[in-house]
Amino acid sequence: MAEYILAKENGRNIPQEDKIFGISNRAKKAIAEKGAGRVINATIGSLLDDNGELVVLSSVAAVFKQLSPKDYADYAPIGGIASFKEAVQKSAFGAHRPDGFVEAVATPGGTGSLRNVISNYSVFGDKVLTSDWHWAPYNTIAGELGRSVDTFEFFTAQRTFNAAAFHAKVSQLLDVQESLVVILNTPAHNPTGYSLTLSDWDQVVDALCGAAKCGKAIALVIDAAYIDFAGDEEEYRRFLPKLSKLPENVLPIMAYSLSKTFTLYGTRCGAMICIAKTKAIADEFRRVCEYSSRGSWSNSAKVAQVILSKIYSDPELLGKVGKERAHYRDMLLARSRAFEEEARLVGLETVPFDAGFFLSIPCDNPDEISAKLEQQDVFIVPLAKGLRVSVASISEEKCRRLPALIKAAMA
Ligand code: PLP
């Protein structure tokens, strides 16, 4: 437990070192000393090519290079520039725009959207609900705002989405609090790679329709950070029209990010997009979220907003970006298939996986196993319930080698 000298703890537990950055730094050191070929660094959450270099879509980079100083130096309006607000809806919804009153507010990445939802759709002390396997910063964001995270069991013993556990936890929390924020990270969930199926979505919608009868406010966040790396971009948006079935007091909000989809991680751009049943709810959404933005980061950076606007105003360029992304998505999918094939061969169990940057291996002693693997220059991330492997950051050849190494370390 850290000793506070001048800073205030305020109910948070701030570690001396971020665990993932710590491992990642040790991996980088090993690479510097021994060479990239001798080290497996499966800790990084960005898409890297087979040489360990960051993948940047050249079609997107070309737009960047043609920008004028005003495109990147000027302030954007708090809620985002108008052309971005339009373009980002097209990008988020594709051909599956749900019915409803839609408003988009620019945010610094998906992270900003998550922060603004929690700040505006829950109250101090509330529990925010997500799956037991989840992206750790949800806890940090909730904690910064005086909330905490509660979880439901993501999978049944039959390796399917645990709709009963979801339903039970939603009801339990609504019994004791006046509002509820639910975060579902799908498709291509971090850290498991699971994508909710259309029938999983039917169960989620049914559960929320039932729970909403109490009349309390529910915000359903679809954290779609990896949506464009799951597989066919339209196929993976087919769940969206189902959101229109939700009643007035359940507000679906898509946390959309340009980080992965357009390889613009560092430009910090995303949007929170609501699909409301009434204009009043949509207008309120825009008002409260813009207010929160003003009080946290103020304006979001303009540069990626302009880039997205330019991409969506030029069909040929949009096609080029889509084609280039598909190439890298295929590379990523080939890596995860290679990992899965080898895992089956060596008898290594994985958590139900569909697609994406990561997959997970359940185990009881993740810290011990990852420390053992580090001794062989294999770096993966220990989580509460297992180990996370980033197939986004290692070659297909390393993906093939890794399952046997993990299996041996677990023996
Ligand atoms: N949600 C999940 C599950 C993520 O893994 C990430 C990024 O790693 C994000 C949201 C948000 O990323 P960004 O703020 O860069 O859009």
DSSP string, 365-388: -HHHHHHHHHTTTEE-EE-SSEEE
Question: CA-to-CA distance for 109 and 257, rounded, in angstroms?
Answer: 5
Question: CA-to-CA distance for 394 and 398, rounded, in angstroms?
Answer: 6
Amino acid letter for position 25: N
Give the confidence band of 94 by pLDDT, cuts at 50, 70, 90. Answer: very high
Q: Quick one: average pLDDT of 2-27?
A: 87
Q: What is the pLDDT of residues 229-270, one digit of tens each?
A: 999 999 999 999 999 999 999 999 999 999 999 999 999 999
Sheet of 270-276, strands arranged across:
101-107, 270-276, 250-257, 217-223, 179-185, 127-131, 148-152
Q: Quick one: average pLDDT of 16-37?
A: 90
Residue 1 has pLDDT above 90, yes or no: no
Q: What is the pLDDT of residues 127-166, one digit of tens each?
A: 999 999 999 999 999 999 999 999 999 999 999 999 999 9
The pLDDT of residue 2 is: 59
Give the confidence band of 20 by pLDDT, cuts at 50, 70, 90. Answer: confident
345-380 per-residue burial string, b: 16 or more CB within 10 A, e: under 16: eeebebbbbbbbbbbbbebeebeebbebbbeebbbb
Average pLDDT, rounded, for the chain: 97
Give the confidence band of 404 by pLDDT, cuts at 50, 70, 90. Answer: very high
Question: In the CATH scheme, what is the homologous superfamily, with its name and number, of domain 19-57+322-410?
Answer: Aspartate Aminotransferase, domain 1 (3.90.1150.10)
The pLDDT of residue 19 is: 83
Give the confidence band of 207 by pLDDT, cuts at 50, 70, 90. Answer: very high
Nearest to 270 by CA among 222, 318, 217: 222
Mutate to test the pocket of ligand 1, among 44, 128, 223, 391 (most ligand atoms within 8 A of CB): 223
The pLDDT of residue 240 is: 98
The pLDDT of residue 15 is: 87
The pLDDT of residue 21 is: 83
Residue 272 is given by DSSP the state E
Give the confidence band of 325 by pLDDT, cuts at 50, 70, 90. Answer: very high
Question: CA-to-CA distance for 18 and 175, rounded, in angstroms?
Answer: 35
C-alpha 85 to ligand 1 mean position (Å): 20
Structural domain spans, the chain: 19-57+322-410, 75-313
Residue nearest to atom 7 of ligand 1 (CA): 225
Residue nearest to atom 8 of ligand 1 (CA): 45
Top CATH class of 75-313 equals alpha beta
Q: Quick one: average pLDDT of 89-110?
A: 98
Using a 6 Å cutoff on CB, does residue 259 contact ligand 1?
A: yes
Using a 6 Å cutoff on CB, does residue 111 contact ligand 1?
A: yes
Handedness of CA 355, 361, 366, 368 (dihedral sign): negative
Using a 6 Å cutoff on CB, does residue 135 contact ligand 1?
A: yes
Question: CA-to-CA distance for 405 and 411, rounded, in angstroms?
Answer: 10
DSSP reduced 3-state for 344? helix
Q: What is the pLDDT of residues 358-395, one digit of tens each?
A: 999 999 999 999 999 999 999 999 999 999 999 999 99
